[in-house]
Amino acid sequence: MNQLEKARQTIDQIDAEMASLYERRMDAVKEVLAYKKENGLPVFDETREQAVIDKNSVRIQNPEYQEFYKDFLKKLMNNSKDYQRTLLSQHVIAYAGVQGAFSQIAAARLFPNDQKLNFKNFEEVFKAVVDKRAEWGVIPFENTNSGLVGEVLDALLEYPVYIQEVYDLKVEQCLLGIPGATLKDVEWVYSKDQALMQSRNFLKQLSVQTISYPNTAMAAQYVASQNDKTKAAIGAKENAQLYGLEILASQIEAHTENTTRFLVIGLQPKTSGNRSSVLLTVQHTSGSLAKIIEVIARHHINMESIQSRPIKGRPFEYFFFVEMDGDAAQVQACIEDMKENCESIKSLGTYSLGGQ
């Protein structure tokens, strides 16, 4: 055995001991987290963390190693915090809006027994999942009448998340007003821009002014607070009971089969299901996109849809969202062949289409 082999054998033995000690340490971390959770304490305690680093650094006898050991301890502490946040996020579901929003309704149907956290907008839901304040996020992605939600597509490109499941929710839009109001009283209608778009034919007949709101439930909440007969909101019928409103008209969407597709997002890619999707940019040369489509066809994969979206900060340049039917292995082989003609490509995973 030469010098290199002897040194590596020593390292292997130490690594085995460290693995055992690491498990013991993380078991203790679980106990710490249980106490913190019971007593409402935060995961990060800056004073305690610095004390641990200072106390343990002086135990290093060789001064050459001290700064490196401090760095090791900091990484170990970050690893511990990450693990604690992962445990805390389990069975926590993030959605955008307040109670009564379609996202909240979808989240309740998908995860009836889990804790729900609401956020002001879609991007905050993405951040909650990335920061491990929630295990999953429920996000509206596409509607049969108004199309894709562009800001969600942007966030899928920006944040390191993956699609876990797709859930289709049949949406019935209602016009909601304060008690005693009639359709003739309404002059202003508040709702999410997609809901206003879905109900545009009905609103045109009413000859009203429309105001876009972050989501449908917040619009209903606002109308209830104003106690003004001239103001109404578009939203789910559940909002009438939640906020003390009356349904002035129901099924006001342009098409009665109005359905919104929701995504469940998480941090780990799924590899089982009947649908896969990717986000990609192509080389700015003639035929680049056509080559991508040819690759999909060559792998005998059905391309369910392809949609373009402007790239932020790059005027008149676009990225593409591609949905494909096929198993994970088949799609992964296809993605590998796509790379030759892509500037960038992000797989969003292989997942299942849910019901209504």
Q: How far apart are CA 169 and CA 259, in angstroms?
A: 6
The answer to whether 43 and 86 have CB atoms below 8 angstroms apart is no
Output the CA–CA distances (angstroms, integers) from residue 261 to 126, 157, 162, 212, in the order listed. Answer: 17, 18, 16, 21
- 8 marked as part of a ligand binding site: yes
Q: Where does residue 289 rank: exposed (0-12), middle (13-18), buried (19+ CB within 10 A)? A: middle
- Any binding-site annotation on 24? no
d(C-alpha 14, C-alpha 340), whole Å = 43
C-alpha R_g of the chain: 26
Taking the CB of residue 191, how many other CB atoms lie within 10 A of it? 30
Q: What angle do CA 282, 283, 286 make, to 5 degrees?
A: 105
Q: At what angle do helices 328-338 and 288-298 cross, to 10 degrees?
A: 150
User: Is 314 assigned a ligand-binding role in the annotation?
Assistant: no
Q: Which residues pair with 23 in a beta bridge?
A: none
- The answer to whether 325 is annotated as binding is no
Does the annotation list 346 as a binding residue? no
Q: Report how far residue 143's alpha carbon sits from residue 298's, in angstroms, rounded to the nearest whole number.
A: 30
Give backbone dihedrals phi and psi of 244, rounded to 5 degrees, phi first.
70, 35
How far CA 127 is from CA of 137, 164, 182, 271, 346, in Å, comes to 10, 16, 41, 23, 18
Q: Which DSSP letter does residue 202 get?
A: H
Spatial separation of the C-alpha atoms in residues 49 and 341, rounded to whole Å: 48
φ and ψ of 92, to 5 deg:
-115, 130
Annotated binding site for substrate: 8, 25, 36, 45, 49, 80, 84
| Binding-site residues from annotation | 8, 25, 36, 45, 49, 80, 84
